[in-house]
Amino acid sequence: MKSLTLTAVFLGACCLLSSHTYAAETAKTMAEPTKKVTKTVETTSTKMQKININKASAEELQALKGIGQAKAQAIVDYRTQNGKFTDVQQLTLVTGIGDKLVSQNAENMSF
């Protein structure tokens, strides 16, 4: 009887330990794809191509942070009326574009 009880206890402990190990491995395996996706998103966002503000269409300008349809069109209109931009600070002359917006996008713009 003792042998049967010890065997049952031993088997129960083995099942408990193996299920805990399996759960830990499963959690680890499930977390790995998340890390890969996060890394891919970070890599993609840091490799944004610079947008030439003197040549870009309103649609292309909307790829910049904080630039929607109205601001993009205002940039195109200003450029059409006043000529090409020569430096990034000239963008602040466009209605709706301030220093903060310019500084957020400066590294993603070219002339």
Q: In terms of pLDDT, which residue wins out, 63 or 36?
A: 63
Element (H, E) at 9: helix 2-46
Instruction: With 0.75 as the threshold, say if the pTM is over it.
Output: no
Give tens-digit pLDDT for 15-36. Answer: 555 555 555 565 566 655 655 5
Q: Give the chain's mean pLDDT.
A: 79
Give the confidence band of 53 by pLDDT, cuts at 50, 70, 90: very high
DSSP per-residue letters across 21-47: HHHHHHHHHHHHHHHHHHHHHHHHHHT
Give tens-digit pLDDT for 78-108. Answer: 999 999 999 999 999 999 999 999 999 999 9
